[in-house]
Amino acid sequence: MRLPLVLWRLLLALLGLVCTAAASAELAHRHFTTSDGVRLHYLEAGTGEPALVFVPGWLMPADVFERQVAHFAPAHRVIVLDPRSQGQSQLTTSDLSPGARARDIAELVGHARVGGFVLVGWSLGVLEALDYAGRHRPADLRGLVLIDNSVGEGPPPAPSRPGAATARPLKPQAFEAHVRRFVAGMFASPPPSEFIARIEASALRLPPPAAWRLLNGLHPREHYRAALHAVHVPVWYAITPRFAAQGEILSSSRPGTTVTVFQSRAHALFYEESEAFNAGLERFIARLR
């Protein structure tokens, strides 16, 4: 049966739309050079506002957010930073200070001409996102998503396991063993071995003294709490039960804050409970419109 010309044209137009959407969601590897000369790598996929800008945690690569990239790129521009000396970004030990890493986020947003965006930080990325927002006060920031770290409310949480706060080995072999335990402990069930290998490769790039310096140079807890209360955008605090007390304080003391406690106790809850996390992020984004 021969289709009328008008139907052929309609089918071709629909095919073009499908191809355009697929192309816009393709993952691209991009780079830029910071004002202090460090070449940083980031992943980018998709189009659509608000853009989603992700910042991973201590020593982690952009790859950890692969399930969020795949889910959100069909409807949003998604950008995931490899922080300096992590993932595929340039290895440097010259300046790993909180100020430099907050500036890196600001320069990424400027370089990529992001427009209106939601900033998503996980673990150490929570503190770096808050430091960036507090220092730079970005006019285009539409919302903050803070995943599973302290935000300075109430008393400090207990260590995730006994001795975790003081176990900071410097010898390479002991540090490697520590990192492998740390990575395995982020998940309630083991991810694919290839995925774990990519994460471990990033986490072992920095020499141990420099890796620990990322944590030694952090600001007092009050700094991050003040930044959070000074930035007047909606916040989603997505946490494991360890931070539930801080979530209760935050939800009652800061307007525009939503708190979700994920029960799997997996630090990488966005990976472990990706369907629930992605649905929660969709609801948060819908509130911004």
**pLDDT by residue (tens digit) across 247-272?**
999 999 999 999 999 998 999 999 99
Average pLDDT, the chain: 91
Scored b (16 or more CB within 10 A) or e, 101-137 reads bbbbbbbbbeebebeebbbbbbbbbbbbbbbbbbebe
Higher pLDDT among residues 94 and 42, named by residue: 42
User: What pLDDT shows up at residue 15?
Assistant: 42
Over residues 103-108, mean pLDDT: 98
Whether the per-residue pLDDT at 135 is higher than 50: the answer is yes
* Position 289 confidence tier, pLDDT thresholds 50, 70, 90: confident
Q: Is the pLDDT of residue 37 over 60?
A: yes
**Percentage of the chain with pLDDT > 70?**
89
Domains and CATH numbers, the chain: 23-153+161-288 (3.40.50.1820)
- DSSP-derived secondary structure for 240-257: -GGGHHHHHHHHHHSTTE
How many of the other CB atoms lie within 10 Å of CB of 89? 23
CA distance 287 to 236: 11
Higher pLDDT, 46 or 162: 46
Does the pLDDT value for residue 18 go beyond 60? no
Region 215-242 average pLDDT: 96
What six digits make up the tokens of 163? 């001795």
Q: How far apart are CA 37 and CA 15, in angstroms?
A: 44
| 141: three-class secondary structure by DSSP | strand
In which band, very low, low, confident or very high, does the pLDDT at 162 lie, cut at 50, 70 and 90? low
pLDDT band at 158 (very low <50, low <70, confident <90, very high): confident
pLDDT in tens, 52-96: 999 999 999 999 999 999 999 999 999 999 999 999 999 999 899
> What pTM, to 2 d.p., does this model score?
0.90
pLDDT at residue 109 is higher than 70: yes
Checking if the pLDDT of 147 tops 70, the result is yes
At 167, is the pLDDT very low, low, confident or very high (cuts 50, 70, 90)? confident
pLDDT band at 2; cut points 50, 70, 90: low
